[in-house]
Structure 1
Amino acid sequence: MITKTMKLSDIKISDAFARTHVSERKLQKCRDYFNVFEKADRDIVLSSKDILIDGYIMYLVYKENNIEEVEVKVKSTYRDYPTTYIYGKHVNGSNKVYVWRIPHDRKYNWDKFVTLIEPGDIILCRTKYGTQAISVADIQVYDKCPVNYSVKKVACSLFWKVTATAEMRERDYSCSDNTKEIDKDLEDTLQILKELSDESALYSTSGLMRELQIIRNGYEKGE
């Protein structure tokens, strides 16, 4: 969250808060603290559109004391700060390009993931049909979300490099006498991933995915 100073009159109060029956005990406790210490005992939290999310009692106390400018915290989302967006196409779908976003959670090495992927790589993304394999078409970082609809996430930091040269493809074919078997392994694995809905379950399959020898069609594991 970010902190900013703004006019109290610019804070937007939803109908739900306006209809709220505030506890007189809680309100008086907030008044007493403000009168003694001349500062807030709780934060006023707003959405990125300046709509009150939390701190309605503090808002009322400020209003009672005719305070014109107040310090607030703004709860931001990926739409409001620099985010990496992936444009891509479904591996087994049409040529239509869709957009996904890379999460900001550091737990799953997303920072490293961003530095390694490039157009042509195969990644796994959330879709309305479940987790699907996506071919990366472009990678962009925007300060604000480039579209006006909700953007789904890249599902995990596992990816595959796609070799670009015919020479590599020929070498891949020559290295394998069982390309049909490898194709079947890939197909089966992608089908399993499509059926996964829980993100933790998706991560539990990552060890298996890294062990697949994906040679057919020039796939090479991303490190």
Structure 2
Amino acid sequence: MFIGLVLLALLAALSDRPLAWYAESQIEQALTTGSDSAESAHASIAGIPFLTQFATGEYRHVEVDVHRWHTGVIIINSIAADGRDVDADTSDVLTNKLTALEVASLKVTAELRWQDVAAALTHATDGVISVTVTARSRRPTIRVDTLLGSITIPLAVSVRDGQLHIPAGAKSAPIRIPLPTLPPGIHLSTATATAQGIQVTARGSRVHISFDS
């Protein structure tokens, strides 16, 4: 009997991590397919044993790293997400049809490259506004060309009313950076301009994330 219990425990241990790898692959696949998708993604689900988490569809801790997320309005260069108490429908995972995740607590850090920001701003205005970002030092500048002329200003970013803005001087309205619609339950918290781009953080609770099929 003792040997049988040991064998059962060993079999459970051997099947635990492969099952976690499978669940991780389903999350990665959901992130890299559909109209809004990433070029690559890596998911990691923590906690042993995973078998009980899989059976209930409740994952205690999920970390996801995403590279080059194409949103339709702007390309987000990288995303690092840390989710706690994540619900995933077990039948959807088993049938390779993961369409949504419910996350009790979520923290996200994202990076937007300046060239992607400039391209998105130019595209959003149908070329009426042409944006050039110079980031040769720690204090990047932005040049905005319009039909009425051009302005060059030190580049800074701010979060206002849940949107990402570039202040355009005292006499001009701020420039809103086009971003995809955020999932319900999450909001932008900080934004920082660097020589490489914009670092953005977002936090949320009871976040519903849907995936395109």
What's the TM-score bracket when you normalise by the shorter of the two chains?
A: under 0.3
Radius of gyration: which is bigger? 1
Which of the two has greater helix per residue?
A: 1
TM-score (norm 1): 0.26
TM-score between both structures, scaled by the size of structure 2: 0.27
